[in-house]
Structure 1
Amino acid sequence: MDENIATLATAIGSRVKHERLTRRMTLDQLAEAAGVSRRMLINVEQATMNPSVGTLLRISDALGVGLPDLVQSPEPKAVKVTRTGEGAVLWSSEAGGRGILVGGTEPPEVVELWDWTLGPGDEHASEAHTSGTKELLQVQQGTVTVGVAEQTFVLEVGDSVTFPGDVAHSYSNSTTELARFSLAVFERGVGSGHREANDA
């Protein structure tokens, strides 16, 4: 891992462990709630790996925190500013692609704002997110192909698409030029299931 990725992995690992211990959850309990292996969770907490966006989403949902909170410092702020270059790079490819989480709101109504670049031939496949998740994408550069369940949409600069994020979906670039898009992801009621389970 390069230095920036290692620093982010360490911050995420510390935050996951802090949130888990705050909730008095064992590694096994969080692993089961998140649908990941105990070994995977240990690797995340010890920052020995760079987990996928899907894995981070499952862990953040199980902890009842939004993904933006998982990659940022835990101090609550009324206004959060992310300067150019400060976003969390949560996906990258050998072709130059990057998925950067540039900001987001706090639970329970979480909105994430992403800046995505897809290199020539890049594809990012995403598993279904939690029920009710919505995504809104607008192409800033190049051509982006969005797959939503069995449907495929080819989008050019300025085009946008809104779709359910609770089904399998993908973003790809089948051209020889870079493509870039902005993505907003809305998750409703993050942590509410976790709170209900604790209240029972």
Structure 2
Amino acid sequence: MESQPDPLAQAIGVRVKRERIARGWTLDQLAERSGVSRRMIVNVEQGAANPSLETLLRISDALGMGLPALVEPPAPKTAKVTRAGEGATLWRGEQGGFGMLMAGTEPPNVVELWEWVLAPGDRHESDAHASGTREMLLVTEGAVTVSVGNDAYDLVVGDTVSFYADIEHTYVNAQESRARLVLCAYEPGVGIAHGAETDND
């Protein structure tokens, strides 16, 4: 029996289509701006796919809206509480880990707060993010190796690392026990360049 797309995938699809149409873009135009295939965008908009984290980042950057605005409903200008386990799970590891977006801000300067759990043997490889993006993480359980470009850093509980994430980077749990991280990502100027391009089209 074919598995059904989850509610998050369907909600993301609705938002992508709404934002694309609001900009007057065709599927081909969004595909060209994002570097994501037209077929994948169609699948995303129909809620028929559970897109990878990298695909969501490419689409949200192309739309100039930032990842939190793509995956979370608009928040009122009051405190927003996300209970444990209720964030948007946007990555699942082959060994059972996950990456969950817990909170985020709106453009143009987008801040994302993540909870990451890496099961033993889990590995997350990330493409280079938009220029100027930074990541900071704190290990709260276990141990993890963070590679940034050609450099690798072995971290244990209480250790932190911060780096520019506009180059390839990887998180690996090579230990025999679970690792847990709190990660903050900062992406400045989201939507500014895209807005200028739209005005000039």
TM-score when scaled to structure 1? 0.95
Mean CA deviation greater in 79-88 or 110-119 = 79-88
1:38 pairs with 2:43: no
User: What is the letter of the counterpart of residue 132 of structure 2?
Assistant: G
Give the Cα separation in 2 of the matches to 1:89 and 1:19: 22
Residue pairs, 1:45-194, within 5 angstroms: 45-73=45-73, 75-79=74-78, 80-194=80-194
Percentage identity across paired residues of the two chains:
56
CA offset at residue 76 of structure 1?
Answer: 4.6
Return the alpha-carbon distance in structure 2 between the equivalents of residues 129 and 140 of structure 1. 24
Conserved? CA contact 2:139–2:181, under 8 Å? yes
* Matching residue's letter, 1:28: D
- SS of 2:6's partner is helix
Question: Mind listing any 5+ residue stretches in structure 1 that lack a counterpart?
Answer: none
Shift of residue 49, structure 1, vs aligned partner: 1.4
Residues 112-165 of structure 1 show CA distances to partners (whole Å, capped at 9, x for unaligned) of 000000000100000000000000010000001000000000000000000011
**Paired residues, number:** 198
Distance 2:199 2:87 in 1: 35
What is the letter of the counterpart of residue 77 of structure 2?
A
In 2: Cα distance, 1:64 partner to 1:81 partner:
25
- Partner SS, residue 54 of structure 1: helix
- Check whether the contact 2:60–2:67 (CA below 8 A) recurs between aligned residues: yes
Question: What letter corresponds to residue 76 of structure 2 in structure 1?
Answer: K
Give, in whole Å, the separation in 2 of the partners of 1:62 and 1:174: 34
* Structure 2 spans left out of the alignment, 5+ residues: none
CA distance in 2, matches of 1:193, 1:29: 16
SS in 2 for 1:91: strand
Q: In the alignment, residue 92 of structure 2 is paired with which amino acid?
A: S
Q: Give 4+ residue runs of structure 1 displaced > 6 Å after superposition.
A: none
RMSD of aligned alpha carbons: 1.3
Shift of 1:93: 2.1
Q: Which amino acid aligns with 1:42?
A: V
Whole-Å Cα distance in 2 between the matches of residues 165 and 77 of structure 1?
A: 30
The alignment's TM-score, normalised by the length of structure 2, stands at 0.95
Displacement of 1:24 in angstroms is 1.0
